Amino acid sequence: MNRRQPTQSSDPSISGRSSANRGGPAEAALRESEVRYRRLFETARDGILILDAQTGQITEVNPFLCELLGYSRAELLGKELWEIGVFEDEAASRAAFEHLQQTGYDRHEDLPLKTRGKGRVEVEFVSNVYQAGEKTVIQCNIRDITDRVRMQREITGSKWHGVSGRTRN
């Protein structure tokens, strides 16, 4: 399994190297909290997408998902959810998006995503809607379950083969 090292940001506001005392203890605590949550987002070993809840456009994507799908951050930002091959077809993707907008939560346990190289990654896809300041956003947590799905198929296939391969005496 590919183990990527956490990314080190050169941006002082993200890396925590900014002037810590500027603005007093409350601002310092706020900056520390922002750095902590940015690092959580950047180093998560699950893919994370943040979408505009009205349009479905990707407004933020973490490095793990970029690596998993083979796209750069710039290539994914601004795309609509249905443009990255989440569902089999655009109509199904739009219907799922509308359901998510209405219910605030959606979960798909075994969903294929297309990668840049025309490959396929099996994922668990969990989405929820929430307020982030003045905006409503959708957070999608995407877990790579390709190995688990492959093993389940092998086990199911070997059990099936064992049953069908028997002969009567």
Task: Kindly state the average pLDDT of the residues 159-165.
Answer: 53
- Residue 169 forms part of a structural domain: no
User: Which is more confidently placed, 88 or 129?
Assistant: 129
Query: What range defines the domain where residue 117 resides?
Result: 46-164
Same-domain pairing of 158 and 115: yes
Nearest to 63 by CA among 16, 5, 123: 5
Kindly state whether residues 17 and 85 are assigned to the same domain: no
Residues 32 and 108 in one domain: no
Q: Are 31 and 84 found together in one domain?
A: no
How do residues 71-93 score in pLDDT, each as one tens digit?
Answer: 999 999 999 887 876 666 778 77
Rounded-to-integer distance, Cα 124 and Cα 118, Å = 19
Q: Is residue 98 part of a domain?
A: yes
pTM of the model: 0.74
Give the model confidence (pLDDT) of 91-118 as tens digits: 877 888 889 999 999 998 888 888 888 7
Question: How many structural domains is the chain composed of?
Answer: 2
Inter-CA distances, 26 with 36, 57, 66, Å: 15, 34, 34
The answer to whether position 17 is within a domain reads yes
d(CA 59, CA 13): 19
pLDDT interval class at 36 (50, 70, 90): very high
- CA atoms of 52 and 97, how far apart (whole Å): 11
